[in-house]
Amino acid sequence: MSSYEGWPNWETWNVNLWLSNDQGLYDECIQIARENETIARTANVLDDWFHNMFLEPYEGDAPFQSGPIADWVNMSYQQVDWKEIAEYWIDRAQEIDEYEAGK
C-alpha cells in the first residue's frame, strides 16, 4: 500500500479531505469521535455514517449496481482506512476539548 499526503492511500486522504472541508461534516465527525472514544468503535460508526450519507442513496441507481462505475466506487471505498480517519477525528476532538477547557 502506498501513502499519500501522510495518509495510507489516496482514498483515505480523499474521504477525510471531504469530511474536514465542510463545516457540517466536520462537526458531525467531531461529535462521533466524542461519543465513541475508541478508534475501533469510532471507525465503525464513521464508516456506517459515511456509507448511509453518501453511498446508500445511490445503491438503487443502475450505474451503482454493476459495471465500471460500481466497480470503481466499491474498490475505492474498500481502500479507505477508517481506523486512520477515526484516529484523526479523535485527536481533533481532544484538541478542541483541551482548547475549550483552557479558555
Between 98 and 56, whose confidence is greater?
98
Q: What is the pLDDT of residues 23-34, one digit of tens each?
A: 999 999 999 999
Return the closest-CA partner of residue 28 out of 9, 7, 42, 14.
Answer: 42
Whether the pLDDT of residue 1 is over 80: the answer is no
Q: Produce one character per residue of 67-98: b if its CB has 16 or more CB atoms within 10 Å, e if not.
A: eeebeeeeeeeeebbbbbbbebbbeebeeeee
Q: What is the mean pLDDT of residues 14-28?
A: 97
What band does 63 get if pLDDT is binned at 50, 70 and 90? Answer: low
Q: Produce one character per residue of 50-65: b if its CB has 16 or more CB atoms within 10 Å, e if not.
A: beeeeeeeeeeeeeee
pTM, two decimal places = 0.87
CA distance 71 to 73: 6
Between 94 and 58, whose confidence is greater?
94
Half-sphere exposure of 24 (CA within 13 A, CB side): 2
